[in-house]
Chains A and B, each alone.
Chain A
């Protein structure tokens, strides 16, 4: 069966520090991968999605970047965090063919 792992679960980082969040999927090949952010009291905002290794599409101009170094690995990064980067970050995957989407347990990022 397929599983998705996302870590860390919580993170407190100072302003200006770098960020690296990792997401891996098991039990499937060549999935579509997504990064979403959920700010307090707001809906989910799509940040990046990827349909293959090295293929990244950005939905919102921001202080963040994403990479997909391996088929089932998706990384969200920042060189210098801003206070506004605080939020709940969620990774998701789904197979090709517009199938059901599955989410990780999320990372709560607080920038102080």
Chain B
């Protein structure tokens, strides 16, 4: 059974810092991995999708990497801003049409 963990559980940084969020999964037989952002009381907003054949994806200040063999993905946020404050979730897509979520990293960017 696929298990997904995220480290750290919470992170507080001053504005302008570059930061890395980590996601680990136990079963490397994945089809893709997706990073989401969730604001308090809101739904999930898709940030980046990485297919299993890809190594990384970039969107603006965000860069996500995938190392399927080691069961890890990282989300890199450059020049963090207070508006980046949210919970970041990674989800691993398996071949059974499902995706399994990690518990999330709660990010606070202080002005």
Contact = CB atoms under 8 A, between A and B. Distances in A.
Interface of A: 6, 32, 34, 36, 42-44, 46, 49, 51, 59, 88, 90, 92, 98-106, 108
A106 B91 contact: no
B99 interface: yes
B42 interface: yes
A36 B43 CA distance: 11
5 contacts: A43-B103, A43-B104, A44-B101, A46-B100, A108-B41
Given A44-B89, A49-B98, A101-B99, A106 B32 contact: no
A98 B43 contact: no
B41 A98 contact: no
B97 interface: yes
Nearest to B6: A43
Contact residue range for chain B? 20 to 34
Across the A-B interface, give the 7 residue pairs with the lowest CB-CB distance, nearest first: A103-B44, A105-B43, A44-B101, A43-B103, A98-B31, A100-B49, A103-B43
B46 A105 contact: no
B28 to A, nearest CB: 16
B97 A51 contact: yes
> Is chain A's binding surface mostly helix, strand, loop or mixed?
strand
Interface of B: 31-32, 34, 36, 41-46, 49, 51, 89, 91, 93, 95, 97-104
Contacts of B91: 44, 101
Given A43-B103, A43-B104, A46-B98, A100 B34 contact: yes
- Quick one: which of B34, B43, B97, B104 has the most chain A CB within 10 A? B43
A46 B100 CA distance: 8
A28 B32 CA distance: 21
Contacts of A6: 43
A90 B43 contact: yes
Nearest to A32: B97
A44 to B, nearest CB: 4
Contact of A106 (B34, B43, B98): B43
Contact of B36 (A34, A46, A103, A104): A103
